[in-house]
Amino acid sequence: MMKINVTEANEKLGIAVPFEFVTTAGEISAVHEDYSFDGDITVRGECVATGRGYRISGRISCTKSFVCDRCLEQSAVQQVHDFDEAYQKRGSGYNEDNQDVNYFDGDQVDISQMIRDVLLSDQPLNNICNADCRGLCPKCGANLNHGDCGCDRTVIDPRLAALQQLLIKK
């Protein structure tokens, strides 16, 4: 559980109160079919009481494991994800239907769900082991990151190929 007690922040209005948690993907249900977060997920940040509510910001550090979309090798990358969220205590007398604000009860803010959402949404569309990944040879399937297989992989643009055909016919 990643719960921030706001009592200290309340006593130091406007001053950042640091927090740090170590969790795991299992603990916060950060599960996705295309990848996983292995080992510890570290969350460091600060909580500031703004008078009306709280600003909770920080950074998540994790290790993401996946099969590379290009070379199909099992890979792992270190990731950091920043977050910056507004929280407001329910029943504090202020408007409570702001879409950009997270609401909580009592003196504890449970950030588990928010951290999970940031981890799963702040991901690239593709899982690539390395920006320079050369992928697999379309002819023999060799992993080109391990060296060239020697195949002729010259690909002719299909539009040019059609034009070539036309020229040959004439």
DSSP state of 136: B
Cα dist from 32 to 29, 65, 82, 121, 123, whole Å = 9, 11, 19, 11, 11
Residue 168, CB-side half-sphere exposure with 13 Å CA sphere = 6
Name the residue type at position 170.
K
Residue from 63, 65, 70, 76 that binds Zn ion (CB under 5 A)? 70
Helical spans, DSSP H, in 42-124: 112-121
Q: Which of 140, 161, 162, 163 binds Zn ion (CB under 5 A)?
A: 140
Segment contacting Zn ion by CB under 5 A, of 16-24, 80-88, 131-139, 157-165: 131-139
Count residues near Zn ion (CB under 5 A): 11
Residue 151 is a binding residue for Zn ion (CB under 5 A)? yes
Q: Which of residues 40-69 bind Zn ion (CB under 5 A)?
A: 68
Out of 25, 118, 133, 136, point to the residue binding Zn ion (CB under 5 A): 133
The residue ranges that bind Zn ion (CB under 5 A) are: 68, 70-71, 129, 133, 137, 139-140, 142, 149, 151
